Amino acid sequence: MIEIKKYYYLTPALLVVIIFSSNFLSTDLFQAGYTNFSVWFVLSLFSFACGWLINKTFGYNFGGKILFSVIVASAFVSVLLVSIFKEYFGLSDLLVENMILYILRNITLGSMSFFGMAVCEVMILQRESVQSKSKQEDIKKYVASAQREAQLAVDEAKVKADKMLTDVQQSLNEMINRKEQVERRLKEFIQTERELLKAYEKEDEE
């Protein structure tokens, strides 16, 4: 979440001043000469920069709400100002067309600010996309390395299991051989005992 500091609100305040100052310019850009057009261009450029800073400081969602509020407030104040000082602005009658014209001037500069916000947000998203791709590549490398290590561990476990199985089989074979030797010796011992008993029996009969 973006940490919002108090001095960040200076940017929307500057944008209000820029939009409000446009009310004192002539609407006939080309008839008034290149000077008036240059001033409009500079105001538009400043509005673009303000939108850029608003997106940087407030974020796209909250910054968009602030910018919309600035445009609405500026349009309302402009209409109120023109209504009160209509002689200063050279308006003999307060026609709806004149009010719409001044509102459109404010919306135009506000749209430049929205354009600045959009360009800034697109660049931020593009940078995040590049960083995300880099992270995905790192994750893929990590997963591949983990898979190799896991395969090595499995192979090592198989080798150890085979060795243990061979040792157990060898021990079992040795035990079977010992058992057979014991049984064979026991049979030989029993056979010897029988022969001795027969020999004793013959001696007793004689």
pLDDT digits (tens, 9 = 90+) for 143-170: 888 888 888 888 888 888 888 988 888 8
67, 117 contact by CB (below 8 A): yes
Q: Give the span between the Cα atoms of 167 and 173, in whole angstroms.
A: 10
The pLDDT tens digits along the chain (206 residues) read 567 778 888 888 888 888 877 777 755 544 445 556 677 788 889 999 999 998 888 888 888 888 898 888 888 888 887 777 766 666 665 566 777 777 888 888 889 999 999 999 899 888 888 888 888 888 888 888 888 888 888 888 888 888 898 888 888 888 888 888 888 888 888 888 777 777 777 666 65
Residue type, 139: I
Which pLDDT does position 34 carry in this prediction?
A: 53
Q: Give the span between the Cα atoms of 25 and 27, in whole angstroms.
A: 6
Which pLDDT does position 35 carry in this prediction?
A: 57
CA dihedral (52, 56, 57, 63) in degrees, to 10, reads: 60
Domain boundaries, given as residue ranges, for the chain? 6-138
50, 18 contact by CB (below 8 A): yes
Residue 206 DSSP symbol: -
pTM over 0.75: no
